[in-house]
A and B are shown apart, each in its own frame.
Chain A
Amino acid sequence: MALSKSSRCISAMLLALCATALPAPATTAQAATIKWASQEDAATMDPHAFNHGMTLTVLQHIYEGLVRRDAESRIEPALATSWTNPSPTVWRFKLREGVTFHDGTPFGVEDVVFSLKRAMAPGSDMKVFTASLTDVVAGAEANTVELRTSSPNPALLQSLPELRIMSKAWAERHGATAPADFKKNAENFATRSANGTGPFRLVERQPDIRTVLQAYQGWWDKAPRSVTEATLVKIGADATRVAALLSGEVDFAYPVPIQDIDRVNASGKAKVLQGTEVRAMFLAMDLHRDELLYSDVKGRNPFKDARVRQAIYQVIDVEAINARLMRNTAKPIGEVLPSDINSFDNALNRREFKFDPAAARKLIEEAGYPKGFQITLDCPNDRYINAERVCQALAAMLARIEIRASVNAIPSSKFFAKIGARDTSLCFFGYGPSDFDAYNPLNVIVQTPDKGGAGQWNVGNYSNAEVDAAINRVKDEPDALRRQAAVSQALTIHKREIGHIPLYQPGITWGARTGVETAVQNDNRVNLRFFTVK
């Protein structure tokens, strides 16, 4: 909203004025009991109802999957202790013994079968993670389950942390056997209550106000946990959230707006923990229509000319955007996939063309647009860090080769509907694979759109048969090396053809008071399990 933006810039001005800080009040929080503030709240406590970052952030404390991610986001055993893949479409999991739910009931095979089927049911928003599953059954041996997939899915384990296990008996007792369904015009018991096996129990839940988690004493993992109780409060306004951190009212607050990083670090009371988010920001161009919807070029589509795409690529100074607008929190990249994900060679994220405005000018003249052209750049203004300012900077850079881009900054509730309908000529957005696997973004962003769901956010309709064939191999290839080679093959072509214009991975900025330490999770999901509090 315009309001919060102006308040943010006013507060930044003020902060510059109030350079002299009075002595800080003593922090009243006792070690191990913390209060953390986030920009938004979880939408529901139902583990399968909403595939949404903050919702899953809270839920990962309460519910666990068969496997989980460690502090470096690598897969490790959780409710399953080991697994085998006896045939390409069958996975067997040995379940952990002695695990109990928060209400004291023991965890077992029927809970896993029930929960995974619940995640596959109509109304579940976790179907992207269950897409390859056809059935879940109890294994032949005691305390094992068998997952069956329609085709070989070498990345199955990557999806499992998000498929969280509920107690079957609890769900049945409270009529929550299916994810909360909007059709029935009623909420579900599991929307506001929870009963998992995870490190924390839900003890209080007031949506959008406060959510209290308490360490579960019966948790199977005996790894030391520093936090015994945590209260999550939502503080939507950036200035207020930072103020709460600096005044000691909260021990942890995120995100910290990047213009406040220096002030927080200089306060002596708190510091900013930084990381790089698993999300690629890029520009998508309409490569399909013969005439662009939002341009003054008639009768042809300038983006179909590779020289125009390269000119745009070379006139954009990503380093300058990172330095000036992102205060060096971001990381420039060369593809539409973020680094450090499964089956992805990070070398692909070296930028293909260097920043060179003179070369760009030459290219655009060769392509027959010496006077440039007019274009609309669609841009979401409430989703990504400084998105609107980045778009304005991009427009200013494009102006150097006479491409007159008018920035159309709109709320994401309108933006995604617009670009989803392909009602765009040039747009700025980002995508991060929620399963940390290369196949998902290849399938969603790069592959040719079809009825089967491929290319859902390939809004410029980039299409190359060779790339599609390579992506289809990525889907089924069980051998890790060959799979990675297929990813590289698809992306090398996509990169050379400039199917999209890759920009950067945004930074993560978490604010912690002195004495609170944690590893920064690159999916931007705070995990209290990794906190140490003094």
Chain B
Amino acid sequence: MIMFILRRCLQAALVLAAVSFVSFAVFRYVGDPVSQMVGVDATAEQREQIRHDLGLDQPFYAQFGRFVAGAVQGNFGLSLKQGRPVGELMRERVPATLELSFVSGALAVLVGVPLGVVSAIWRRSWLARAAMALSLLGISLPTFFIGVVLILVFGVEAGWLPSFGRGETVALGNGWSTGLLTLDGWRHLLLPAITLALFQLALIIRLVRGEMLEVLRSDFIHFARARGLSSFSIYFRHALRNALVPVVTIIGLQLGSIIAFALVTETVFQWPGMGLLFAQAVAFADVPVMAAYLCLIALVFVTINLAVDLLYLLIDPRVRSKI
């Protein structure tokens, strides 16, 4: 048991090391940050001087070593674009991304599960058809397109909702801020949250529907009917519970991708989160910010996977017996 956990932690550390190595190796091809850091008028000597001062003229392994040495101490260096510590920039941006991700995730679950159930039970109802159409759109339309359409419809044409930014936020201290405590914050959050939720929503509707149909065909449901249980009890107490087991696993794993895919939504809505920071860093070849972001996202995925593995260990005796 302990060995299992240790082994998993070791694997997680290896994954992180690999991600940072690969990302760092790729960054050399992103471009030259120095050409963005000084005006076009700066002389060649000034550029060389900056390159030297930043250590960009050192060989790859030396730069990587320096990055790792700093990173294990939680120091990701200074953003080349803003001249501020990367850790501080990330801390400022994390609340916005987490807020958006969790509201989207909640929206996807709260709307997706009931719609999935409804479309499994009353397969020919108009609601089921609408839900399936919605899920088809959510799966097939790219996120940025959904975002632009929502902005045009609700922001420009109807004028009901703002089209960019985070609105009014409340500082919670310790660098955290939230827009969830103000009406303005919610108004700003709505469109990006829907945009980001749509894909997950579609996934959940289809998943829940499929699982429900599967469970409803199984023997114990027939027996339940034979026992004369009410339809409500059969659908929601027996069938839904059994259908939700794989759904919960998928939702857990999808949480990581919501955080990672927030990048596109954040770019469209100018949502001041980590994804936007990363997108801007790529254009600038701001290596410290890019490296820190990718490591953080890798850490999120690794942590979630580790947690899921450990949960299986608790839930499923077959995994335990194999250890």
Contact = CB atoms under 8 A, between A and B. Distances in A.
A3 B264 contact: yes
A237 B267 CA distance: 7
Interface stretch (B33-41, B99-107, B211-219, B303-311): B33-41
Given A185-B78, A191-B83, A191-B84, A413 B148 contact: no
Contacts of A6: 144
B159 A128 contact: no
A235 B162 CA distance: 13
Contacts, number: 175
Contacts of B163: 240, 243-244, 247, 249
B152 A240 contact: no
Given A3-B267, A240-B268, A51 B159 contact: no
Contacts of A248: 159
A440 B148 contact: no
B267 A417 contact: no
Interface in B136-160: 144-145, 147-149, 151-152, 155-159
Contact of B151 (A209, A243, A411): A243
A24 B159 CA distance: 7
A246 B156 contact: yes
Given A10-B148, A182-B53, A382-B283, A247 B267 contact: no
Interface in B37-75: 37-47, 50, 53-54
Interface residues of A, number: 65
A44 interface: yes
Chain B: interface size category: 35 or more
B83 A233 contact: no
B159 A187 contact: no
B32 A414 contact: yes
Nearest to B31: A413
Contact of A240 (B35, B41, B54, B151): B151
A434 interface: yes
A52 B165 CA distance: 24
A3 B152 CA distance: 18
Contacts of A233: 164-165, 270
A52 B39 contact: yes
Contact of A416 (B32, B46, B80, B270): B32
Interface string B74-86: 0001101111100
B35 A413 contact: yes
B283 to A, nearest CB: 6
Contacts of A236: 267, 270, 276, 279-280
Nearest to A26: B159
A183 B37 CA distance: 13
A208 to B, nearest CB: 7
B285 interface: yes
B42 A51 contact: yes
Interface of B: 29-47, 50, 53-54, 77-78, 80-84, 144-145, 147-149, 151-152, 155-159, 162-166, 264, 267-270, 272, 276-277, 279-280, 282-285
Interface of A: 1, 3-4, 6-7, 10-11, 14-15, 18, 21-22, 24-25, 37, 43-44, 49-52, 125, 127-128, 180, 182-183, 185-188, 191, 207-209, 233-237, 239-241, 243-244, 246-249, 382, 410-414, 416-417, 420, 431, 434, 440, 444, 453, 456-457
5 contacts: A7-B268, A37-B164, A51-B38, A127-B43, A240-B270
Given A187-B84, A413-B32, 7 more contacts: A1-B279, A51-B40, A240-B270, A244-B155, A244-B163, A244-B164, A420-B35
- 5 nearest A-B residue pairs (beta carbon): A413-B31, A51-B39, A417-B32, A128-B41, A25-B159
